[in-house]
Amino acid sequence: MRKVTLVARLLLGMVFLVFGLDGLFHFFPLPPMPPPAASFIHTLVEVKLFYAVKAIELGAAVLLLWGRYLRLALCLLAPIVFNILWFDAVLDPKSLPVAVALLALVATLFWSEREALRPLFRPAS
């Protein structure tokens, strides 16, 4: 299981490093998207939220690749992966398999850290 966790961590780190950098420096062309999806992305760029998300992705990617603060990286990426999954399911279904793969990688890492993350799911006293 350690090798699976290592591969998941490195793969997830590389994905978010590459696409986080791409969001800031635009070295990949944008694929064609349905109009509602393009409008949503355009709005995120207009209000600068897109760049904030990309910065968080880059920070989490560095933490994943470094191998330290894995739990912090997972907590930062969980809402981003949820939004990617929701975006793909609702606005651009043709890219849904990529989102499901990201979800599987994050779920693998959450499962490997489940004991340490258990306090996050307990109510405050």
b/e string for 72-109 if b means 16 or more Cβ within 10 A?
ebbebbbebbeebbebbeebbeebeeebeebeebbebb
Give residue 96's pLDDT: 95
Q: Range of 47's domain?
A: 2-116
pTM, whole model, 2 decimals?
0.90
Give how many domains the chain has, as a whole number: 1
Give residue 1's pLDDT: 79
Classify residue 122: in a domain, yes or no.
Answer: no
Classify residue 125: in a domain, yes or no.
Answer: no
Classify residue 121: in a domain, yes or no.
Answer: no
Helical pair 70-90 and 2-25, crossing angle rounded to 10 deg = 60
Per-residue confidence at 124, pLDDT binned at 50, 70, 90?
Answer: confident
Classify residue 43: in a domain, yes or no.
Answer: yes
Per-residue confidence at 31, pLDDT binned at 50, 70, 90?
Answer: confident
Classify residue 123: in a domain, yes or no.
Answer: no
pLDDT in tens, 100-122: 999 999 999 999 999 999 998 89
